[in-house]
Amino acid sequence: MQLVENTVPRGLPLVEIVEPATIRLISTAYIEEPAMAPLADTDAALAFLEEIERKTSLRQNEDMPLPSDVRQDELLTSAYGYGWTYVNAAFCYTRPQGSRFNDGNRGAWYAAFGDAPKETAVAEVGHHLTRELDNVGRYENVTRYRELIAGFLGPFVDLRDQDGADYLDPVEESGHAAGQKLARELRGADLGGVVYPSSRRAGGSCLAAFRTTLVQNIRQGATWELTWAGSPEFAVAEV
């Protein structure tokens, strides 16, 4: 379907993006290759463990119930190539309160791009983990994140010049509710995603993809270690 700007809800602009190397950070605890292999002595044992994981995984097992707004036929399979389970996980496993452009019933693929995307990605995940440590009341933590690099091509709704819009409010309690409402409108109009300014790094850009098939050519990149040592400020080191 060819989209024109006057069909976009709220009259928002579209931009054609060509981004071969966006960056999404996930905890190395969820990177399957190093996490599973140390548990098995043989290939057969590893295959057995992977089959157990598949049977208990929303992103891989077609018999398990999915979030209410995710359809089985839109999830990827191994035929899609490396990273298909990571994409499915992004849409199937959500926080109950959701994130900026998704609610608890459906996830999205978030990534940083543009100017210094690594710094933007680190700032975003560091902010959210700091919020979790706020809830615990203890800033003692070390977490490693791996880059998942992916390409995107096509029209996205461009929110980067929407200064003051409620859905870009850095205060999550208000900004996320407005962003989730906008995302439902855009998905209802069959739009694939949004690009928007990072709330956690000035000058940074992010995207949120609403469709699994938009995520292309996934590969792993660098590993970053974030360390909290008694305060909300965290140190960053490439491993």
Helix boundaries (H) for the chain = 32-36, 43-55, 84-92, 117-136, 172-188
- Token pair of 107, please? 């996830």
Q: Whole domain around residue 226: which residue ranges?
A: 5-238
Q: What percent of the chain has pLDDT over 70?
A: 87
pTM for the full predicted model = 0.86
* Ramachandran bin of 116, using left for φ above 0, alpha for ψ from -120 to 50, beta for the remaining angles: left
Whether the Cβ atoms of residue 5 and residue 158 lie closer than 8 Å to each other: no
Q: Region 22-37: what's the mean pLDDT?
A: 76
- Name the pLDDT band for 156 (thresholds 50, 70, 90): very high
- Name the pLDDT band for 42 (thresholds 50, 70, 90): confident
Q: Region 70-80: what's the mean pLDDT?
A: 95
Query: Total domain count for the chain?
Result: 1
